[in-house]
Amino acid sequence: MSFSSKVKDELSRQVNPARHCQIAEIAAILSLCGKIKISDQDHFSIEIHTENVAVARKYFTLLKKTFNIGTDVSIRRGAYLKRNRTYIVAVREHEDAIRVLQAAKLLNEYGEVSENLSVVRNVVVQNTCCRRAFIRGAFLASGSISDPEKFYHFEIVCATQPKAEQLRELIATFDIEAKIVRRKKYYVVYIKEGSQIVDILNVMEAPVALMELENIRIVKEMRNSVNRQVNCETANINKTVSAAVKQMDDIRYIQAVIGLDGLPDNLREMALVRLERPDATLKELGEALNPPVGKSGVNHRLRKLGILADDLRERSVKQ
């Protein structure tokens, strides 16, 4: 089972005892994966279509607990090798469908199908607990979350831009910054920051998935921290080795061209100690001098030897 399926399975097994929260979750599921059918005789029926059995189970349970109505559940197999299954949960009775739609505020005062996409004026999402339920229902209906072992990505796919903007605003009420991107004919509300995905799991009340994600984040951050430290130390070693190789080359060039005897005592001693200790650090080189010199003093002398070697090379080119 994928991580996304685990999250949906966990969410599908939780039913908020408050009726207003149940209605908010039903409203979200209907809004994102529901169909409202009206016959020629103005007979209403509603369906949800989903490929996730957990979503079908949750919707069936919500309708039963909230409205105590019967539903028809059917399975449609895909044409290709009959592997894909679509679960259809339908309310066929006109009166029952009207009750659900009115409670979810998907019918206006004239009996026409419409949805109030305002976060401020929509009574379905006035309470904080109802906003949690609505986001949970939206994720169950058309959301997904990537495997956190690979990368962090949470998204909910919406059919229209106004719906996506409503969801983004609802999520923002919990201090979580979601973004919207157009993907073909759909609008996707997404979150990529690992810590904010943890927050949205907390909003939807998925504690098991939250803890699993947090554990993965901790391990990944520790691994990344170790890698950064190793890379930094490796870079420092490479830098030290490269500097030592150049110093050796410069000293050997000076020795070959003018010899070391004509150098000032401090530079000659520095050159001889470096030749004797090609792998020594600046601190070790300083301790080998008589009298001992600090790292800055060693670096100053080696830099002078380097300048002298570069001058000798320039003279050789000009001649």
pLDDT tens column, 216-261: 988 888 888 888 888 888 888 888 888 888 999 999 998 988 888 8
Give the number of residues written for the chain: 319
- The Cβ of residue 156 has, within 10 Å, a number of other Cβ atoms equal to 27
How far apart, in Å, are the Cα atoms of 72 and each of 63, 64, 98? 11, 12, 16
φ, ψ for residue 181, nearest 5 deg: -135, 145
pLDDT at 79: 59
pLDDT over threshold 90, residue 85 = no
Give the 3-state secondary structure of residue 122.
coil
Average pLDDT, the chain: 89
Q: How far is CA 310 from the centre of its chain?
A: 51
Q: pLDDT tens digits for 167-179?
A: 999 999 999 999 9
Element (H, E) at 117: none
Q: For 129-142, what is the mean pLDDT?
A: 94
Structural contact between residues 15 and 26, judged by C-beta atoms closer than 8 angstroms: no
Separation in Å, CA 265 to CA 260, 262, 290, 317: 10, 9, 11, 28
Element (H, E) at 73: strand 72-77
- Which of 20-29, 109-118, 262-271 has the weakest average pLDDT? 109-118
Residue-wise pLDDT for 172-198, tens only, equals 999 999 999 999 999 999 999 989 999
- pLDDT range class, residue 7, cuts 50, 70, 90: very high
CATH of domain 3-205: 3.10.28.10
Average pLDDT over residues 207-211: 93
**What pLDDT is attached to residue 112?**
82
Per-residue pLDDT at 182:
94
pLDDT above 90 covers what percent of the chain?
48
Instruction: Delimit the CATH 3.10.28.10 region(s) of the chain.
Output: 3-205
For 122, residues 6+ apart whose C-beta sits below 8 A from its C-beta are: 105, 116
What pLDDT is stored for residue 235 in this prediction? 84
Task: Judge if pTM exceeds 0.75.
Answer: no
User: For position 43, what pLDDT does the model report?
Assistant: 92
Confidence of residue 15 (pLDDT cuts 50, 70, 90): confident
Per-residue pLDDT for 84 more than 80?
A: no
Question: CA 171 → CA 156, 189, 247, 289, distances in Å?
Answer: 11, 10, 60, 67
DSSP 189: E
- 3-state helix, strand, coil split of the chain in percent (to 5) is 60, 15, 30
* pLDDT of 92 over the 60 cut: yes
> What does the pLDDT read at residue 319?
67
- Report residue 67 as tokens: 């409205």
35 bridge partner residues? 47
82 has a pLDDT exceeding 70: no
